[in-house]
Each structure stands twice: as C-alpha cells, then as structure tokens.
Amino acid sequence: MKAPARIVALLGPQRFHPTLRDVMTSLGMQGRVAAITAGWQEREREDQDLRDHLDERTVNLELYARGERVAQRDPELAAAHHARQDRVRRLQELYRQRLAFALDACAVLARAPGADADLDHERRAAREAVRALDAAHLQRLREIHAEFESRMKPAEREAVIHERTEIARLMDSTDAVAIAGGHVAVLLNRLRQFDIAGLLGGRAVFAWSAGAMAIAEHVVLFYDLTPHGSSWPEVLDEGLGVVKGVVPLPHARRRLNLDDRVRVSLMASRFEPAMCAALEDGAALVVRPDGWSAGEGARRLSQAGAVEPLGVA
C-alpha cells in the first residue's frame, strides 16, 4: 500500500456502529469537516445523524444537488453526460458477460484436484486472462472519459465553475473531509465532476462504505450472493486514487463468501499487488505518509485463501 501525502482513514460501515468521531479524536482532528453524502442522492441533506455524531462541526458540500443544478443550467453538458453514462453501462454489461466465463474457468481449475506443473500453468494463465480483461476494461473507460473531457471541457463551463468555486469556499474553513457511502457510481461521478481530489490539499480524508471504494485507485463491486444467484466481483471504474494499493471491501462479511478459500484466493491474486481489505463494523485502516495501521475489524484477503487480521506497516 502506497502512503498518501495526507492522512486517509478507511472506516467500517457507520450506520449502526459509528466510529468516525473516535478515529478523528485519536488523530487529533478537532476542526470543521466537509461532509460529502452525494451517494445518498436526493437524501444527501438527511445528514443529521452525521452532524450530531460530529457535534455540528460538519458543512455538507451538497455535491448531488450541485450536479443537478449544473444539469439544469447546462443542458448540453447534461446530455453529453447521459450519453457517456449510457455507453459506460453498455460497456460494463459486455465486460461482465466476458468476466463470468473467465472467472468460472479460474474457479474450475482452482478446485481441480492435483498440483502438477501443467495444471499450475493453466491456473496461472486463467488468472492472467482475468487480470488482462480487467485492465482492458479500465483502458476502454479511460478512453471514454478522456474523449468526454476533451470534447465537452466540463471544468471550463460556467455552471461547473460556479459550483466548484462555492465548494472551494466552503472547504476553506475545514480541516478534514468525510465521505459517506450510498450509490457508488453516483458518488464517484459527483466527486469527479467537481474535481474534489484537486481541492483536498493536505486535508485528512475519512471515508466509509461506498466512500472508501470511491477514493481507491479502482472501484471494485462485489457481491458473491445476489438474489439471482452467485456473481463475481467486477471492476466498475477508476477511483479518485486518494489512497493507493488497497481495494476496500466494506461489509465484506455480508457480501462475500469468506469461507470459500478458492473465491478468497482468486480475489486476492486478481488484484495483487493491491491489498484486498475487508472493512467490517468498527474497522479503521489509517494510512499516513509514514505507514499505516489497522484496528480490529480490518482484515486482509490472502492469496492462500485466508482472511487475516491487519496490523501495522
């Protein structure tokens, strides 16, 4: 895991077991906090629990509402944004179909008895095929986003500049940023739209659930057991890259079959050298410029198929 230039804390789910204030206090953070709850979409201002938890020290940046205002003021940009999202969703579906066959093959080979050289070679080749598919998917997404940025130049449009200037003004009075969960794709879109990564400066960042996923290098969706049956983790997009070398897995115990060593091993080896970090209730993975530490509730998926406690590095 690469240490960022600022403190970044990836927390466990906060809804039933809020630990944000305790973690902030342990790090000496007593100032005002910029809150991002855009993943809650229309409910982003229903943040009284968060405000109470932090003793009314928060200022909500209202990124979701700002995005809606931008769409109203700049319909040309909104139309281009919707067209890009339609294309991205189509691409995601095609990638998901290919991915299912590739990971099914990995699982079949991994569960096959024996450990001869030929079988090991095929297992490695199958894993590399999945990694190559993930990489190709990310490259296609980069190209789509780059084409959108080049053609529409959203950062130079008046409606975006107006909202981003106001966001920067609000952030001037804060020492830290707290990013909640919700709909990860919506959250990621708003974070990108207003280039929040470019406004962070040296502020500490605290993120949980979808917020933790969105600030990693890559956003990985995972849900082993869906109402429609078993599914495989999939790469959604590049994240903000505020914290590098870790794949956050909030609510991992509820979403992943952590007793299945083959699936755990495939997940860990697929995304190495990044660390797949399971973040359960009460977890805190704190990444400082000089290293990182993790408390109870934060665990690592190993390539051997185990789920191990995290410590200090």
- For residue range 72-126, list pLDDT tens digits in order: 999 999 999 999 999 999 999 999 999 999 999 999 999 999 889 999 999 999 9
pLDDT of residue 114: 82
pLDDT digit string, tens, across residues 130-142: 999 999 999 999 9
pLDDT of residue 6: 85
Provide the mean pLDDT of the chain.
94
User: Which two tokens mark 97?
Assistant: 């179909």
Characterize the bridge pairing of strands 229-230 and 225-226: antiparallel
Q: Do residues 133 and 119 lie in contact, with contact meaning Cβ atoms separated by under 8 Å? A: no
Mean pLDDT of 179-183: 97
Our separate counts of H helices and E strands in the chain read: 10, 15
* Dist. CA 302–CA 313, nearest whole Å: 16
Mean pLDDT of 34-55: 97
> What Rg do the C-alpha atoms of the chain give, in angstroms?
20
* Dist. CA 21–CA 18, nearest whole Å: 8
When pLDDT is cut at 50, 70 and 90, the band that residue 4 belongs to is low
Burial (CB < 10 A; 0-12, 13-18, 19+), residue 242, is buried
Phi-psi region of 57 (alpha: psi -120 to 50; beta: other; left: phi over 0): alpha
pLDDT of residue 266: 97
pLDDT digit string, tens, across residues 243-271: 999 999 999 999 999 999 999 999 999 99
pLDDT digit string, tens, across residues 291-310: 888 988 899 999 999 999 98
Characterize the bridge pairing of strands 298-301 and 275-279: antiparallel
Mean pLDDT of 206-219: 98
pLDDT of residue 225: 73
Candidates 277, 66, 72; CA nearest to 189 is: 66
